[in-house]
Structure 1
Amino acid sequence: MFEDIPLIYMSIKTLKFWSLIYDRSWRRLVCLSMTTFMVLTQFSYIFQTDEGIQAIIRNAYCTVLWFNTIFRAYMLLLHGERYQNLIALMVKYYNELRQSKDMYIKHLLDEADGNGKIMVRGNLFLGLLTSIGFGCYPLFANERVLPFGSMIPGINELKTPFYQFWYVYQMTMTPIGCCMYIPYTSLVVGLIMFGIVMCKSLQYRLKTLKNIEYNSHQSIQNSVIECIKYQNRIIRYIEVINQLTTYVFLIEFLAFGTLLCALLFLLIIIDSTAQTVIVCAYISMTFAQILALYWYANELREQNLAVAAAAYETDWFLFDTSTQKYILLIIMRAQRPSTIKVGDNYPMTLELFQSLLNASYTYFTLLKRVYG
């Protein structure tokens, strides 16, 4: 069904392999049970550790990242049917556009597919670098540490042979975690990117109304009515994406500011060049994931607004009165753009992303001043 759509194929294939969507197999039990257990040991560590601020910050980052990972996985399972229906809807709309004979529409789809493949591969590459960083960090530490701080009652994880076993366990979980976290982001961004294509397609339909003979008022009116129907289709499509992801993005929003602030502070207190490089890899991966979401969500909102401009730029003054009213309906609805929201309240825009960065930097400077 989705195999011919490069925009989402790789992401769905990875999630499907781990049985987080479509399939049900032993892989789902393995990845969820083992990662959930590891997250529980991480929380145990955070609440009971007496290590220094440097260890606490790094391991708090890892804990939040892993919690976000399993939260996404459980949301996929909880709303699996709705995600599958959304993907089926996207595939249907995609194939309808692909069947168009217009070269502009085909160019939009090809461009989206190309950008989607680049994004997926780039995110997986950053995930690989981060995984390597997790594994290498203990090698450059001044004392024995694990890739992710954990605590199991009755066991000293830093003593042989528990340390070696737990190190292998955590590093085995790391690529699995990447395959749970990164493809979800890439899938959602791919769905949003297709929403952008739909908006541009609607704009194109409106702009080409002038190619219809003006004496054929009925043909123009029918075309405008089809544009209204297509606009409603876009609205429903975006609403479904928002319903499935808005609270996932709320968790991400709350976590990202804290993580970025903590990692920036960690950069100034570590004294090893290798560890500095590794922390920079952590920051790059987290920043790239969140930026991709906000960038394309903001673009989706802007392209929805651009529908109003495209409708106004038609030769509406040459149309009959009833058609002019239909054009007005398109403009009025487009001026209330459908968008992806954080916690179903705040539109995901670059302005919100900038505010998040400003808040993170403010808390970073406060930490720096307090701890000197």
Structure 2
Amino acid sequence: MIEEARKFDQLIYTEDEQKVLRVWKTNRNRIVKILTSNYIILTVFYFVVVLFTKDKLLPFKLIFKPNTIFTPWYEVAYILELVFFMCGMSAMIATDTLCVTFICQTCMHLKIVEVMLKNCDKNNKGIIAIIKKHVEILEYGRDVCGELSTSILCQYITMFFITCFATFTCQLTTIPAMRNKMIWVSLMIYFLFLITCVAGELVTSISENIAISLAQSKFVSYDEKEETRDINNMIVFIIMRAQQPLKLKVGTYGRINLQFYTSTFKNIYSVIMLLKTVYN
């Protein structure tokens, strides 16, 4: 997958295509900075702020008995949680960075195909070049979505349970510092998961836009010339391939988009209600 990405970067592009490259590279760098800074802020807030509170609250204090909070196990539990949390955050940062990088690159080259369609002359040679480019991008995009599906599934499960238990703890605790921290954790994860869902929605919509722009363009002609019929057949081939858009998935079946984002919150609410019922 990385070798294919390097192959696309070594191609020669026109001035309009270079503008698309610059825009999407800027967007990619901006999103990666936002993700990294949010993960760092979340980690610092989660572990450092509690050390300045009056009782030096252990994260998720509710799951421990009161007489175990100020024993030597307090330090051991805190250090172990810190180690596991840092390892998990490192993995999540790496996953999100790779996801954003490859998804932005896929969307960037799909946009380049749209630019090629707008600037292409109506001849067989130009259309064939666009078909080859489109096929390469779709195959690369499917490889990217397939490789990312497993890591996104693991990340989704982690985020789902963290959000459930953070919200559940927030509802039960009477300690203001603990409640504020759990609210912060929940909101940050909601935002970070939203970025992943927007990326999935984006790659699907951009791959569909090629078929829409072709159908609305002046490429299709109704002349009876043989050359015109050949061009129409090739355009129909592009439209047929674009009718199966790229999809970023969670595992095998779940499709990442904004609808999946809203359904996830419904599931989180259901789990929280179940936990409250069991707890009470």
Same fold (TM over 0.5): yes
Structure 1 pair 167/258, CA: closer, same or farther in 2 (3 Å)?
closer
Question: Within 5 Å, which residues of 2 pair with 1:119-198?
Answer: 119-135=31-47, 136-137=49-50, 140=53, 145=58, 159-160=71-72, 163-164=74-75, 167-168=78-79, 170-171=81-82, 174-175=85-86, 177-198=88-109
* Secondary structure of 2:10's aligned partner: helix
* Counterpart residue number, 2:147: 244
For 2:250, give the aligned amino acid. Answer: V
* Secondary structure of 1:282's aligned partner: helix
Structure 1 pair 144/290, CA: closer, same or farther in 2 (3 Å)?
closer
For 1:94, give the aligned amino acid. Answer: D
Quick one: which of 195, 208, 220 aligns to 1:316? 220
Question: Within 5 Å, which residues of 2 pair with 1:258-337?
Answer: 258-312=161-215, 313-317=217-221, 320-337=228-245
* Secondary structure of 2:116's aligned partner: helix
The alpha carbon displacement at 1:195 in A equals 0.7
Moved more, 235-244 or 174-183: 174-183
Q: Does 1:107 align with 2:6?
A: no
Q: Deviations over 1:163-185 (max 9, x none)?
A: 44664565466555433321321
The alpha carbon displacement at 1:299 in A equals 0.6
- Listed as ranges, the gaps of 5+ residues in structure 1 are 1-85, 215-219
> What is the root-mean-square deviation of aligned Cα atoms in Å?
3.1
For 2:111, give the aligned amino acid. Answer: K
Is the contact made by 1:145 and 1:158 (CA closer than 8 Å) also made in structure 2?
A: no
Question: How many residue pairs are counted as aligned between the two chains?
Answer: 271
* Counterpart residue number, 2:3: 88
Is the contact made by 1:238 and 1:340 (CA closer than 8 Å) also made in structure 2?
A: no
* Secondary structure of 1:267's aligned partner: helix
* Counterpart residue number, 1:338: 246
* Secondary structure of 1:316's aligned partner: coil
Is the contact made by 1:195 and 1:300 (CA closer than 8 Å) also made in structure 2?
A: yes
Is the contact made by 1:134 and 1:147 (CA closer than 8 Å) also made in structure 2?
A: no
Q: Does 1:223 align with 2:126?
A: yes
**Could you tell me how far apart the structure 2 residues matched to 1:168 and 1:361 are?**
31
Is the contact made by 1:295 and 1:350 (CA closer than 8 Å) also made in structure 2?
A: yes
Is the contact made by 2:211 and 2:242 (CA closer than 8 Å) also made in structure 1?
A: yes
Give the fraction of aligned pairs with identical amino acids, expressed as a percent. Answer: 17
For 1:122, give the aligned amino acid. Answer: I
* Secondary structure of 1:320's aligned partner: helix
**Could you tell me how far apart the structure 2 residues matched to 1:258 and 1:147 are?**
13
For 1:349, give the aligned amino acid. Answer: N
- Listed as ranges, the gaps of 5+ residues in structure 2 are none
Is the contact made by 1:263 and 1:279 (CA closer than 8 Å) also made in structure 2?
A: yes
